[in-house]
Structure formats: C-alpha cells, structure tokens
Amino acid sequence: MNLEREWKDQLYQEFARIGKCLSSPKRLELIDILAQGPKSVEQLAKMTGMSVANVSQHLQTLHESRLVRFTKKGNYVIYEIAELSVADFMVSLHRLSEKQLVEIQRLKNEIVQQHASMEPIPLEELRVRMEKGEVLLLDVRPKDEYVMGHIPGAISIPIEELEEHLASLPVDKEIVAYCRGPYCFMSAQAVEILKTNGIKASRLEEGVYEWKRYVEYSNVSLPGDA
C-alpha cells in the first residue's frame, strides 16, 4: 500500500467516526436539544424520555467524537455542544434530509395538517412588523434556554406557564411565538392557546440559530439588537 492510499484510508476512517456517532436517532435529538443551551443529564433524560443511564451512554459516544463537552456543577454533569459548527452541521443535515427524503416531507405535512397554527410568518415580515411595533415576539422555550440566547426583542414565557400569563399580554398587538426551530411545535401549541383565548397570534418557524444566520447573511437587525 502506498503512502497516499494509507493516508486516505486513515483520513476517511476518521470522517467515519462522526458518521457512526450520528447513526443513532436519539443522539441526533440530544445534539438538537443541546444546540439550545447546556443541559444536565437528568434534564436530557426527561426531555427525551430515556433513562439517565441511556442518556449518559449516548453522551459519552458524542463526547468521544468531540461533538459535545461537559462541565461539573456540584452533583450534576452539564453538557453542551462542543462548538457552533456542530449546530451548523445539524441544520445542514436537516435541510438535506428534508430535500432528499420523501418520508420527512410527509411527516412534516402530517403535523402541519394537525395544527392550523403551523402556517408561519416569514422572518423578513417579522422584522418589518417589529420595527413598526405591530407585533410582540414570544419565546416559549424553557427559561434557561432564553437566558442562554434569544431573538432580540422577544419576551420569555415558557409554554407550560403561558395560560397563567395571558392577562399580561397586550391586546393591541399580534403575538408571534417561536421555540427551537422548524421541528419544534411548542410555538404551534402556544398559538393555539392564544387564539383560543381571543388573542391574535402566529408562529415563527425559525429559532435563535436561524435568526442569527439570517442577520449574518442579510445584514439586518431587529429592535433590541446590540
């Protein structure tokens, strides 16, 4: 075997480490969740319906491939994605899969049909209407994810607390709810709650990551941008 062949074999063997690591649906879900901000093993277990032991095993595999990192806080182990490029890769994977795999398109259409509130407002329209003061942007993710990063101008009311805070929302503006991106439906649930209570509302399909990329590529901002 010549040196060039040996070098290529070793190179693609290393590339394959990432591919093998991502062959588990649960590990993909864990990365998507961690892209929103750091989480403890116990939080991840609750959010994914897995046992703490199974989550720990999946996280160890992700850590061995350098896709996540962890710190210790008291008795808790806190995980996060290793760097932003991991989130970039996941978004590219989502887009490629949705484009190439008919089943993903079918599943997305199926959930859209179940939620009349799934029809989203485009980012550009949101930007214009926020500049005019016509809409209030509502982040319905957990508080810790909002603190880690949110779309400028958004207020935080986690989905499980929304019904308790309906009276605090303005009646003269449309509410635009968002959560973790295109495959998160907490925002659709929020819109249904708001509409049921007579509040005009719509859904933003994109999340914080998509907003940041939109700002980078379009050179725009929302009221409240630093």
Same domain, 76 and 139: no
Q: Is the model's pLDDT at 68 over the cut of 80? A: yes
Same domain, 151 and 69: no
**Closest residue by Cα to residue 52 from 65, 61, 43, 63:** 43
Write out the residue range of the structural domain in which residue 182 sits: 111-218
pLDDT tens-place string over residues 160-209 = 999 999 999 998 899 999 999 888 889 999 999 999 999 999 999 999 98
Same domain, 122 and 210: yes
First vs last C-alpha separation in the chain: 56
Q: Output the pLDDT for position 102.
A: 92
User: 191 burial class (0-12, 13-18, 19+ CB within 10 angstroms)?
Assistant: buried
Average pLDDT over residues 44-72: 96
Average pLDDT over residues 93-98: 92
Q: 216: pLDDT confidence band, cut at 50, 70 and 90?
A: confident
Helix (H, G, I), strand (E, B) or coil at 140: coil
Q: Output the pLDDT for position 155.
A: 96
Q: 226: pLDDT confidence band, cut at 50, 70 and 90?
A: very low
* Residue 170 to residues 64, 133, 175, 225, Cα–Cα distance (Å): 48, 12, 8, 22
Same domain, 118 and 208: yes
Report which of residues 216 and 179 the model is more confident about: 179
Residues whose CB falls within 8 Å of the CB of residue 47, separated by 6 or more in sequence, listed in order = 33, 39
CATH code at position 33 = 1.10.10.10
pLDDT tens-place string over residues 121-165 = 998 899 899 989 999 999 999 999 999 999 999 999 999 999 999
Q: Output the pLDDT for position 110.
A: 80
> Strands, DSSP E only, in the chain?
39-40, 68-73, 76-81, 135-139, 155-156, 174-178, 201-203
User: Hunting for tokens 């929020």 — which residue is that?
Assistant: 190
Kindly state whether residue 92 falls inside one of the protein's structural domains: no
Could you tell me the two tokens for 54?
A: 């199974």
Same domain, 122 and 211: yes
Same domain, 142 and 77: no
Pick the catalytic residue: 31, 33, 159, 179?
A: 179
Question: Mean of the per-residue pLDDT values for the chain?
Answer: 90
Q: At what angle do helices 3-21 and 52-64 cross, to 10 degrees?
A: 160
Same domain, 157 and 201: yes
Q: Is the model's pLDDT at 63 over the cut of 90? A: yes
DSSP structural state of residue 121: P
Q: Is the model's pLDDT at 34 over the cut of 70? A: yes
With beta carbons less than 8 A apart as the criterion, state whether 214 and 206 touch.
Answer: yes
Q: Is 179 annotated in the active site?
A: yes
State the total domains in the chain. Answer: 2
Same domain, 117 and 73: no
Same domain, 169 and 208: yes
Q: Output the pLDDT for position 225.
A: 55
The pTM of the full predicted model, rounded to 2 decimals, is 0.82
Q: Output the pLDDT for position 214.
A: 85
Question: Counting every residue, how long is the chain?
Answer: 226
Q: Is the model's pLDDT at 114 over the cut of 50? A: yes
Average pLDDT over residues 30-53: 95
